[in-house]
Amino acid sequence: MEALECIKTRRSIRKFKENAVSKDTLTAIVEAASMSPSWKNTQIARYNIVENADIKKDIAENATLGFEHNCGIINGAPQLVVVSMVGMRCGYEKDGSFTTSKEDRWEMFDAGIASQTFCLAAHDMGVGSVIMGIFDEDVVAKAISLPEGEKVAALIAIGYPDQECVAPRRKTTDELMRVL
Ligand SMILES: Cc1cc2nc3c(=O)[nH]c(=O)nc-3n(C[C@H](O)[C@H](O)[C@H](O)COP(=O)(O)O)c2cc1C
């Protein structure tokens, strides 16, 4: 798929077929996501693929902050990706001080780029995805035994699409762009 077509046709997918995405396809998606740019090439994003039904159910039922919409998406997806971030690198100097006034917020910036690259690569391979931002990060971290020093950035439900989606309305380029 051409890059622009991939960008323009990717949609958030919230209904999935039952079959799981294979390890080979997941590896190819993560390999593509590894080419994302990152702050000083720190590459802090990690992709924790939850296939275990009990762990997925635990996250759906106990980590979605009462937002049933996300609970349903996670329960209905064959796999859930927990995007995590290795701490104390992105935005930091070697002595532990912050490099810029954005302090450690570059971590989320990089995790966002990585997540979008992951979703675009997935779309190119026929795999649907939706990024989810409403969850309790501590509950998710505990559910997946997240390694010490990592934080949860986002959840991405993935699987083969079982719905056709129309793009929600976008702002016009006049609204988005300012030329000085
Ligand atoms: C940071 C972030 C958080 C999001 N959180 C959720 C969520 O919790 N649940 C959900 O169903 N969609 C979520 N979305 C998906 C957006 O609703 C979706 O991207 C937007 O409506 C545009 O639709 P499209 O992705 O199909 O273009 C999130 C997207 C982003 C980037």
Is the minimum distance from the CB of 11 to ligand 1 under 6 angstroms?
A: yes
Position 161 in a domain: yes
Is the minimum distance from the CB of 167 to ligand 1 under 6 angstroms?
A: yes
> How many angstroms separate the CA atoms of 122 and 160, rounded?
10
From residue 21, alpha-carbon distances to 11, 25, 35, 114 in Å are: 18, 6, 21, 19
Cα(65) to centroid(ligand 1), Å: 16
Cα(12) to centroid(ligand 1), Å: 6
Tokens of 48: 């924790």
Helices (H) and strands (E) in the chain, counts: 7, 4
pLDDT of residue 128: 98
Is the minimum distance from the CB of 70 to ligand 1 under 6 angstroms?
A: yes
How many structural domains does the chain have?
1
Position 42 in a domain: yes
Position 8 in a domain: no
In order along its 180 residues, the chain shows pLDDT tens digits of 999 999 999 999 999 999 999 999 999 999 999 999 999 999 999 999 999 999 999 999 999 999 999 999 999 999 999 999 999 999 999 999 999 999 999 999 999 999 999 999 999 999 999 999 999 999 999 999 999 999 999 999 999 999 999 999 999 999 999 999
DSSP element (H, E) containing 48: strand 45-50
Contact 153, 87 (CB under 8 A): no
Position 126 in a domain: yes
Who's near 57: CB < 8 A, 6+ residues apart?
Answer: 75
For 102, which DSSP code?
A: T
Give the residue numbers spanning the domain of 23.
15-176
Position 2 in a domain: no
Which CATH number belongs to the domain containing residue 47 in this structure? 3.40.109.10
Q: Rounded to an integer, what is the distance from CA 104 to the centroid of its chain?
A: 19
Is the minimum distance from the CB of 133 to ligand 1 under 6 angstroms?
A: yes
DSSP element (H, E) containing 132: strand 128-132
Is the minimum distance from the CB of 123 to ligand 1 under 6 angstroms?
A: no
Contact 12, 155 (CB under 8 A): no
- In the chain the first and final C-alpha atoms are separated, in Å, by 34
Position 172 in a domain: yes
Position 3 in a domain: no
